[in-house]
Amino acid sequence: MAGTTEKGKNIILIGFMGTGKTSLGKAAAGKLKIPFLDTDDLIVSREGMSINEIFATKGEAYFRSLETQIIRELQDLEGGHVIAVGGGLPLREENRPLLRKLGRVVYLRTSPPVLARRLEADTTRPILRQGEGSTLEKVERILKEREPKYLDAADIVLENDGSSFYKTAGKLTNIYKKGGEFNDQS
């Protein structure tokens, strides 16, 4: 694959809303003393409005285009980063090779009941505020559609049911440090 020597440079966290991409990403970046970036934060600060507001006033398609734009721009990053990307970003086919070019892609996987518990009272994710059914039903339905794409984008799958936050953050730091070794095998 082109650019494999660069592949260990960043860690990219993908996965469903509520899997802990942001909290684990921040913890791992802190331990590694490298910067943490979050595509949602970059979009919110660029647009000067919340994700809910962007969806409501400009629509989901506009938000998805911004995601692709951001992931393209991040290709120019220098040095190592931990980058969390929005839960829907890996779904667009053109985004997946961009994610893989950017670094080692880690899919944080969490079971629907745990996700539903975490997301039950959430009001910041427009995707979960639309459609029929309970939070658990929505999570199960959307995750089933998305999981093949997450797996397609991922180099590594890391289970995160939240039982051992620091252990999982430690695994992420190891993946970052061993980036070169992983590259040699890929």
Provide the binding-site residues for ligand S3P, judged by CB under 6 A.
Answer: 17, 21, 40, 51, 86-88, 125-127
What are the backbone angles phi and psi of residue 106, rounded to the nearest 5°? -110, 120
Residue closer to ligand S3P, measured from CB, 8 or 88: 88
CA 37-84-80 angle, to 5 degrees, is 55
Residue closer to ligand S3P, measured from CB, 8 or 169: 169
Residue closer to ligand S3P, measured from CB, 60 or 181: 60
Token pair listed for 10: 């960043």
Provide, rounded to whole angstroms, the least separation between the CB of residue 52 and ligand S3P.
8
Provide, rounded to whole angstroms, the least separation between the CB of residue 27 and ligand S3P.
15
Provide, rounded to whole angstroms, the least separation between the CB of residue 41 and ligand S3P.
9
Residues whose CB is less than 8 angstroms from the CB of residue 126 and which lie 6 or more positions away in sequence, other chains included: 51, 52, 55, 56, 60
Provide, rounded to whole angstroms, the least separation between the CB of residue 87 and ligand S3P.
3
Q: Report the length, in residues, of the chain.
A: 186
Token pair listed for 52: 């809910």
